[in-house]
Amino acid sequence: MQLTRLRLSGFKSFVDPTEIAIAPGLTGVVGPNGCGKSNLLEAIRWVMGENRASAMRGEGMEDVIFAGAATRPAKGAAEVTLTLDNAARRAPPAFNTTDQIEVTRRITRDAGSVFRVGGREARARDIQMLFADASTGAHSPALVRQGQIAELIAARPKARRRILEEAAGISGLYARRHEAELKLSGTEANLARVADVLDALDQQRVALARQVKQAARYREIAADLRRAEGLLLLLSWQGASDEAGLAAQAVDAAMRAAGRAEAEVLASARAREAAEADLTPLREAEAVAGAILQRVLVEAEALAAAEHRAAAAIETTRSACAALLRDRAREETLTRDAAETLERLTWETGALAKADEGHEARLAQLKDAARAAGAVLADAEAAFDRLAEDAARLKARHQALTRRRDETAAAVARVMRERDAAAAAHAAIGPARDAAATQRAAAGAAQAVAQAAVEAAEARLTAAEAARARAEIAEAARRDALSVADGEVAALRAEAAGLDRLLAGARGRRPGILDAVRVAPGFEAALGAALGEDLRAPLADTGTGWAMLAAPLPDAPGPAGSEPLAPQVSAPGALARRLSQIFVAPRDAGDRLQVALRPGQRLVSPEGDLWRWDGLRLGADEAPSATAQHRYPAPCGPAAARQCRCGRRDGRRPPGRCTTRANSGSKCATATSARGPCTCASVSPRSAC
């Protein structure tokens, strides 16, 4: 078998469906590091039945599903399909029915993976045997991964033998032999288990035989025991009878002794009553003495508590006196310190007053000197600025000038020394100053040219931005037009598909009674609400559908203020019973007239509202029924000489089907569609009947 095609979807880095054709000969996939070349080999090994997550470079088998990126969400499943060429019909008999075999493996998060061959589910073992018969498989050395060449060079003889077996095409036989050996090992284990079970059963049989003998012996001993127990019970009953006679005699003697004891008890009771009468005064005296003793004890406890509180108060008073003495000593110390501080402050105030004499005059002199120094400093700074500007143009070191200016502000003397040095330097750098002036003029000309170029570039940029804005507006308009066109195309396709389904359904069924119904203009919605989908049923002489019943119903008039619908409808006689129970009334009167309906009657409005005798109410604002949307043929004559055509207010066809109604006058009725209102226009005359 030859591998012909590999299809991946959601497997590792292949988030989008990708298909790779494997042509005869050498097929190569070239790309930089990290582009996913190794993922193709892992996909082939995975679909061949690899179940080790480490072989897929992951911690779990669900790691083969695309985990998402910054711009793409994660996938919920991954699928790999490998197509095999089976034209030589070398596949196992279970899969050897077609020229091509598609092996698919799909894994879903939290649901595991499943194998399919030709669309039917298969076991992983069957897939592994399929590729083993083809001298390949998930663990085949023919699938060379990174680093496997070095492993094959350093492989042991056993691994090299495996390569030779695959080249000879007998690896499938070895796989089947290994499976048979496993089955034989399992069978031997089962036989050993059966032998163990038989041994256990023999032991149980011997134990059961011994128990049977013990049970027989138990039955014999139990019979002897029951006889001995019977004799013992008989002897016990005889002894009990004798003891009962003796007990009766003892009871008589006890009754006589009890009579004597009762007489003695009565005498004792009388003596006790007399003693209790003498004891009552003594108890009262004892109670009084106890109460006095209790009061004395309470008073003693109160005195002890008062003594304790007095001792505590004395101790507290002594502590307070000691604290007051300490506070008095501290206050005296503070008073002495305050007096000394006051004397020192008085002396310092006098000293300050003496020192302040003449201070204002000296302050004024210092202020005049400061102003003079400031003027001198200002002159020096101006001169230094001029000199520093020339020096900066030569050295292009603005930071040195700033540093010198800050240093000159520190002291007037230093500024004066630097001014003398600068005057000497000014005399020395005259030629350099002239050269700097020439360079400055050239730089000014170059700056003017650059400014002009910048202005021109800004003008071109403004024009380009305006053009881009116009292009974006045009693109948005084209996108809107394209969206509208796509919507119209989708609506037309959906309508065409719906018509095809209707036509396909109509070819396979009998025509309904709806095709034979004629209704007066303006009553289409009323008829649709009253009959609904029942008009889809065909006329039936035999079988299912509308049948003609000869016996008429008794006349049952409708509610006052309504009129029957039957005069507005031309229909087969099979609908006579149904139409005789339908009445038309204005919409605002329906709720009021519903209570007057008789069993089987219905009340409808011209707009499509429905009231039924059993309490059901349906509004006309629901989706129109197929009966209301049916194009009823208009009767011939001048009353139906005009017809409405429906479209959107902007002249385009709406994304849905409009309800077209024929009217007797020149005014069109308002039509609706499933996705928005339609405007009736383009009144055209009907063709001749």
Please give the Cα distance from 455 to 459 (Å, whole number): 6
Summarize the confidence of residues 679-684 as an average pLDDT.
40
Q: Does the pLDDT at position 636 exceed 50? A: no
- Please, which residues have CB within 8 angstroms of residue 425's CB and are 6 or more apart in sequence? 387, 391
Two tokens, residue 34: 């990290």
Q: Is the pLDDT of residue 215 over 80?
A: yes
Q: What is the DSSP string of 289-303?
A: HHHHHHHHHHHHHHH
Nearest to 679 by CA among 655, 665, 658: 658
Separation of first and last alpha carbons in the chain: 71
pLDDT bracket for residue 92 (50, 70, 90): confident
Tens digits of residue pLDDT in 4-26: 899 999 999 888 899 988 888 88
* CA separation, residue 571 to residues 538, 546, 575, 633, 638 (Å): 13, 12, 7, 12, 22
Is residue 682 scored above 50 in pLDDT?
no
Angle, helices 359-395 vs 430-507, to 10°: value is 70
278 vs 603, higher pLDDT: 603
> What was the pLDDT predicted at 114?
92
Own/partner contacts of 53-61, CB < 8 Å, gap of 24 or more, are: 55/138, 61/107, 61/113
**In terms of Cα–Cα distance, which of 74, 81, 73, 78 is closest to 103?**
81
Q: What is the mean pLDDT of the chain?
A: 76
pLDDT of residue 135: 67
pLDDT on residue 105: 93
Q: Please list, residue by residue across 276-305, b when 16 or more beta carbons sit within 10 angstroms of its beta carbon and e when fewer do.
A: eeeeeeeeeeeeeeeeeeeeeeeeeeeeee
Q: Structure pTM?
A: 0.30
CA distances from 680 to 76, 621, 639, 647 (A): 50, 19, 19, 6
d(CA 430, CA 447): 26
Higher-confidence residue of 634 and 246: namely 246
SS3 of 486, please?
Answer: helix
Per-residue model confidence as pLDDT tens digits over 456-503: 777 877 887 788 788 888 888 888 788 788 877 887 887 777 766 666
Helix axes 171-356 and 124-133, enclosed angle (nearest 10): 120
Q: Write down the pLDDT at residue 576.
A: 83
Banded model confidence at residue 604, pLDDT cuts 50, 70, 90:
very high
The mean pLDDT value for 285-301 works out to 79
- Quote the Cα angle for 53-55-61, to 5°: 20
Residue 315: which pLDDT band, with cuts at 50, 70 and 90?
A: confident
**pLDDT at res. 379:** 76
pLDDT at 212: 92
Q: Please tell me the predicted confidence (pLDDT) of residue 104.
A: 93
C-alpha Rg value of the chain to the nearest Å: 61
252-266 average pLDDT score: 81
Max mean pLDDT among 114-118, 453-457, 494-498, 532-536 falls in 114-118
Q: Is the dihedral of CA 295, 301, 303, 309 positive or negative?
A: negative
- Taking the C-alpha atoms of residue 117 and residue 96, their distance in angstroms, rounded to an integer, is 11
Rounded Cα gap, residues 178 and 176, in angstroms: 5
What are the φ and ψ backbone dihedral angles of 57, each rounded to 5 degrees? 60, 45
pLDDT, residue 528, reads 84
Q: What is the mean pLDDT of residues 43-62?
A: 86
Residue 444 has pLDDT above 90, yes or no: no
Give whole-number Cα distances, 373 to 208, 381, 423, in Å.
134, 12, 20
Strand partners, 101: 84
